[in-house]
Structure 1
Amino acid sequence: MLLLGLAACGGPPAAIIGVDGVSTRAVDVPGTHLLPIYVATSRAASDNPHLLFSGERSDDVSYARLVVSVPPDRPVGEVTRASTLPPDPRRHFVVVAAQVFGSEADFVSSLNRDLMERPAPRRHVLLFVHGFNTDFPSAVTRTAQFAYDSGYPGIPLLFSWPSRGRTIDYVYDMNSALQSRDSLLATADALKESKAVAVDILAHSMGNLLVVESMRQMALLGRFATADRIGSIMLAAPDIDIDLFRKQLAPLPVGDPPIFVMTSANDRALALSRSIAGGVSRAGNTDPEKLAELGVNAVDVTRVTQGDRLQHSTFAQAPEVVQLIGRYLGNDGNLAEDNDDNPIEGVRNVLFEVTLLPARIVGGGRVVVVNE
């Protein structure tokens, strides 16, 4: 716990929603990119408009559209936040605008307008579900960073569940994730009313517990079907008891759609989680071959050393891995090749040096090793 606590100490100010630069506005900075981020959340509204949503729970789903300014000349994989306010848009992520919708219909209508401004092959939605110890502004800026750095060709949609953003609230966060299942399903229903041609799913850490539980619930209700436009599914560093994960997957159709699980033997955050969970492995640090036996595709990133010091956010912070996932999510789940008919624009100028060792077929899934 001390290790995780130290990683969280001295964080940036949280009240950043709608706080632009003072002497220099984000829109006036050459090289900045203004990125729309849609939000669906089971968080309660905050009394502070610059926080927008708190870490407390709500029985209702709220919807919003934010605009995030991504600064130029920033290292790929980094979320640069101001240590004091106001932010400097030349160096920091800035949430320049926020619109909270009065209804689900208003949310869908706005999303459809943005989708229809894109060519048909790019009318994808990236549904990102964050992990443990993540307050709302951190979830927003991480979504923007990943969507931009990966070159994802569609529109990012953050589903934010009520994490308090404190390491001491692990159990609270876990229960908040589970409490949000119906809210995530309501969001999925809203997306069915949109003009998205596909919805790609990316979850991180404890967010995977929410996503996989929701998929299982849909399967048991007879509502989980690829016809509902589920595209690619990537579960990054899932903080899920491996025995529970096995049970969760049982009702799901094997390989339809394919599920990729990013795992690492060096994930120190999951090692801690395992130690406080009775020594049972988490799905995100389990032997890749055991994962493949469950019918999922294991992406082993143990050899990748870039990213955070806990090796828990490799999916977003290791530059080549970020781009690898962007290729997968924007390429109909093909992890190995670019799709010439749907090239990905916006990938940052980083030499793509990551290599994939030959996949091994194990049980119903594949094992792919990422070699840095």
Structure 2
Amino acid sequence: MIEVLKNKQKLLASEAIFLTLQKNMRTKKRNCLFFVHGFNNDFKDVLERAHFFEKNYGVEVVVFTWPANGGGIKGVVSYKSDKREAQLSVNALDRTFEKLSQYFIDHRTSACNQSFSLVMHSMGNYLFKNLMKSSVYGGETLLFDNIIMAAADVNNKDHEEWVDRIAFRKRLYIMINEDDSALLTSRLKFGEKQRARLGHYTRNLNSNSAVYIDFTNAKHVKRSHAYFEDAIKNKNVKDVFQKAFNGERAEKGLLYEAEMNAYSVV
């Protein structure tokens, strides 16, 4: 347990950082994004993406890291190893959400009145799924305005059973690209047990609480697994993530396709 002195008051280091972040958000009028990364990311990769979010979407970023195999390591062994590590990180993520919730309560008189949203990318959604299905989950995610599940590396089948457990303040988004090369490879490489992935499948979109957004036909998206970054030249793509990351209504102005139960980005 690390303690620091702040204004002559002894605080946990995490609480001191929370107060600094809260002050920055208040003075700069910036919203905050909590980021849970995916498979095959080392700490350097995660920090670089967090910096990209800050620079391009105008948000403060808080990162939750878990021990994924970074450095370009690929293959079945590495993938399965990361899935195990994601499962083992459930309690740490839950504890982080609990701490944040307590800090919001303890320091509500100095609230910054900015939005706070959560984005999970790729296998980060598998970690989140395991939290949702765990007995330790008690609705701590209600502290987030928007929750964004981007390129989710989880089964599409029966996803609504755990997705509809997710607590949030405003909106829950599931972002899809049918041509996502990483998710297509994930499905093909790991056999029958690896069903269609939620982040690349436009059928069975049955959650009562999620808003589905399909990027498949959007310019510059192509086979990207990280289209919030790779396709940022497409104003429509950037606008959707800009709104989602900043606690706004991302689907506003998009075409709704009833047969798919999803909004489309072009």
Q: How many residues align?
A: 242
Residue aligning to 1:156: 61
Deviation at 1:137, TM superposition (A): 0.3
Deviation at 1:310, TM superposition (A): 4.0
Q: 106, 112, 121: which is aligned to 1:204?
A: 121
Counterpart in the other structure of 2:263: 368
Q: 2 CA distance for matches of 1:147 and 1:129?
A: 15
Shift of 1:274: 1.3
2:131 alignment partner, SS class = helix
Which protein has the larger Cα radius of gyration, Structure 1 or Structure 2?
Answer: 1
CA contact (8 A) 1:162 1:176 kept: yes
Could you say what the CA RMSD is over the residues aligned between the two structures, in angstroms? 3.0
Q: Distance in 2 between matches of 1:144 and 1:257?
A: 25
Residue 358 of structure 1: aligned partner: 255
User: Aligned in 2, Cα 1:182/1:329: closer, same or farther, shift over 3 Å?
Assistant: same
Query: Relative to 1, partners in 2 of residues 1:134 and 1:291: Cα closer, same or farther, differing over 3 Å?
Result: same
> What letter corresponds to residue 172 of structure 2 in structure 1?
I
Query: Which of the two has greater helix per residue?
Result: 2
Deviations 1:223-244 (Å, cap 9, x if unpaired)? 2167x42210111100001225
CA contact (8 A) 1:292 1:362 kept: no
| Paired position in structure 2 for 1:39 | none
State the distance in 1 between where 2:213 and 2:67 align: 28
Unaligned runs of 5+ in 1: 1-60, 63-102, 338-355
2: CA distance between counterparts of 1:185 and 1:293? 23
Shift of 1:265: 1.0
Q: Tell me the distance in 2 between the aligned counterparts of 1:167 and 1:106.
A: 35
TM-score w.r.t. the length of structure 2 is: 0.79
Shift of 1:182: 0.6
By percentage of residues, which structure has more strand?
Answer: 1
Counterpart-to-counterpart distance in 1, 2:211 and 2:50: 24
Q: C-alpha deviations, 1:199-248, integer Å up to 9, x for none?
A: 3100111111112322443xx5572167x422101111000012252332
Note the 1:15-34 alignment, pairs <5 A: none
TM-score, structure 1 normalization: 0.58
* Separation (CA, whole Å) in 1 of partners of 2:56 and 2:30: 19
The one-letter amino acid of 1:203's match is M
Q: How far did residue 129 of structure 1 move? A: 0.8
State the identity as a percent: 22
Q: What is the aligned counterpart of 2:187 among 274, 279, 283?
A: 274
Distance 1:244 1:124, change over 3 A: same
Measured in 2, the distance between the counterparts of 1:212 and 1:107 equals 25
Q: 1:284 to 1:191 in 2, by over 3 A?
A: same
Instruction: Write the distance in 1 (CA, Å) between the matches of 2:95 and 2:171.
Output: 23
1:172 aligned partner: 81
Structure 2, unmatched stretches of 5+, are 3-9
Cα contact 2:38–2:124 (8 A) shared by 1: yes
Could you tell me how far apart the structure 2 residues matched to 1:277 and 1:151 are?
Answer: 40
Alpha-carbon distance, 1:122 to partner: 3.8
Aligned partners of 2:157 and 2:204 also within 8 Å: no
